[in-house]
Amino acid sequence: MNIIQQIAIIAPPLLFALTIHEYSHGYVASRLGDPTAKAMGRLTLNPLKHLDPLGVLAFIIMKIGWAKPIPVDPRYFKNPLKDMLWVALAGPAANLMTAVASSLFAQLLAAFAAFIPKAALLPLFQMAAASIWINIIFAIFNLLPIPPLDGSKVLMGLLPPRYAASFARIEPFGFIILLALFYTGILQKVLLPIISFAEKIIAG
């Protein structure tokens, strides 16, 4: 498979994974009373509204990426720390549900393979497989408790307010921490077994 074919297979599930992740953050925030994402035109399934060029480049190079963070203003929430926990969980949860849906789609393709033109069957199956893999990576990577990833906000929602405030102070250094963990190989050693395990469960 050449590079153009690879991009054609990976691009649709990648764009959808990024979009559904950020849209889910905005949707839950909106339901909890925050109108910021909607007011800024980010409560949409248009992928162009959510793309972060650096995050896409990181995915191409490191196989770990991100989208442009959805704007959330916790001041609208009744319980900012706890409500941010649910907003943070929404993105990874949406990715996991998309991975499960992609697995079901792949099984349907296999079941009805005899009725699908061969020219379409393989690309569709490859897209479904890529969608499973990409969405699992996004879900698990974003659950890491390192600012500004979703897992850090989940952790802050579980910690007592005093400790949550102290933990939040490391956010300016989060990207440096992630790069250090990646280039030392620690990130891969921690994530790859979890990703492989999740993929076996979801993809069967």
Q: What is the C-alpha separation between 117 and 106, in angstroms, rounded?
A: 15
DSSP, collapsed to helix, strand or coil, labels residue 132 as helix
Q: What is the C-alpha separation between 12 and 175, in angstroms, rounded?
A: 26
The pTM of the full predicted model, rounded to 2 decimals, is: 0.89
Task: Measure the CA angle with vertex 135, ends 157 and 2; round to 5°.
Answer: 150
In tens digits, the chain (204 residues) has pLDDT values of 677 788 788 889 988 999 999 999 999 999 999 999 999 999 999 988 888 877 777 766 766 667 788 999 999 999 998 999 999 999 999 999 999 999 999 999 989 888 888 888 889 999 999 999 999 999 999 999 998 899 999 998 898 888 888 888 888 888 889 889 888 999 889 999 999 999 999 987
Q: What is the C-alpha separation between 191 and 165, in angstroms, rounded?
A: 27
The model's pLDDT over 125-136, given as tens digits with 9 standing for 90+, comes to 999 999 999 999
The model's pLDDT over 61-106, given as tens digits with 9 standing for 90+, comes to 766 667 788 999 999 999 998 999 999 999 999 999 999 999 999 9
User: Would you kindly state where each structural domain of the chain is located, as residue ranges?
Assistant: 3-203
Sorted by sequence, the CB contacts under 8 Å of residue 163 that are 6+ apart come out as none
Structure tokens at 59: 């995915």
Q: What is the C-alpha separation between 145 and 88, in angstroms, rounded?
A: 11
Q: What is the C-alpha separation between 124 and 145, in angstroms, rounded?
A: 34
Residues known to be catalytic: 22
